[in-house]
Structures are given as structure tokens and as C-alpha cells.
Amino acid sequence: MTVLGIDPGITRLGYAVIEGSRNAPRLVTSGIIGNPKAEHLERLGLIYNELTALIAAHPLDLVAVEKLYFSKNVRTALTVAEARGIILLTAHRADIKVYECTPQQVKIALTGNGRATKTQVAHMLNASLKFERRPRLDDETDAIAIALTALVSYAHTEARDYTKHKRSS
């Protein structure tokens, strides 16, 4: 199975492609999509274009994305919701199922503790994937964690199949 994990954001969107099985995962690629100097609509276009290119470069079985949780900063929550919309649209257009998870579900899946720290999650990721290079930013680490969570949890849950509502052309 090959999973694209995404930590949604408008300034920095973390992504990671993981392949294999729950017992033998392998990090294929990871990084950040974003241009903090770009205008808002240009950032959304960049997210769409970069995700489309990632999907074209990797035969994916699943896109895993973090669910939105309400923030005290409504403006930030709204812009992240727009990025999530682009992510869901991109997966839909590529006919790829979507797995959604909360930060707590990621922590439980990887550490067994829903209140684990980012350091504890990063330690478990390194133990599972044996990083050749450490992720530079938390957004990238979070995307790797989301992808690995989907890989180990997908068989036990249902993914949202946004593709089944697709119109016939």
C-alpha cells in the first residue's frame, strides 16, 4: 500500500509518501509545500499543482489528511479549511480514497498515548522508519506521522470515498 500523508496548512503544508505494510513501512519522500511570500490564491494554486504532481509521480492507494480541529484563531482555521478543500478536491479528481484522522488518533496509533508530545511521536517515527535525514519542520514530521497512521490503521477503519460521488463524464 502507498499512502500520501498531508498536514494541511496554507503557508506550509507538510507531505509524506510512505509505502509498504504496517510491519514494514518505508518513507519514499517527504517535504513542505508552500511559499510564504505568495498571495493567498497563489498559495492555494501551488498546493493543487504540487499535490497533483506528487500524485502523478507515485501510484497512491490512499491520501491521509489531518482533520481540522477548532482553533482559537478563526482566521487561521478558515484558511486551513480552504487548504483541506484543495486537498480533498485533488484526491477526488485522482480517484483516490481519503483517510482522515485527528492529532489524537495519530498519537494513539504511533505511541499508544493520546497525549504524547511531538518529541515522543518523532521518536516513534524514527524507530519505525529509520530516517536517512531528519525532517526539518514539524509540518513534515506531522505529515509522516499521518501517513504512517493511515498505513497501520486503514485496514481497521473506513476511508472516506469521495470518488464514488463523482459524476460520469
Give the contacts of 119 (CB within 8 A, at least 6 positions apart). Answer: none
Q: Pick the catalytic residue from 19, 66, 140, 142.
A: 66
Residue 7 bears catalytic tag: yes
* Residue ranges making up the domain that contains 101: 2-165
Predicted local distance difference test score (pLDDT) of residue 135: 83
Return the CATH number at 107.
3.30.420.10
pLDDT of residue 167: 41
Count of domains for the chain: 1
Among candidate residues 42, 82, 138, 139, the one labeled active-site is 139
Identify the pLDDT of residue 168: 42
Q: Is 139 a catalytic residue?
A: yes
Predicted pLDDT of residue 158: 57
Question: Can you give the pLDDT at residue 43?
Answer: 97
Give the three-class secondary structure for 58.
Answer: coil
Active site residue 66: yes
Alpha helices in the chain (DSSP H): 40-57, 74-93, 103-111, 118-129, 138-153
Q: Write out the chain's pLDDT in tens, 169 residues.
A: 999 999 999 999 999 999 998 889 999 999 999 999 999 999 999 999 999 999 999 999 999 999 987 667 788 888 999 999 999 999 999 999 999 999 999 999 999 999 999 999 999 998 899 888 888 789 999 999 999 999 998 766 655 554 444 444 3
User: Phi-psi region for residue 134, left (φ > 0), alpha (ψ -120 to 50) or beta?
Assistant: beta
Specify the pLDDT at position 159.
53
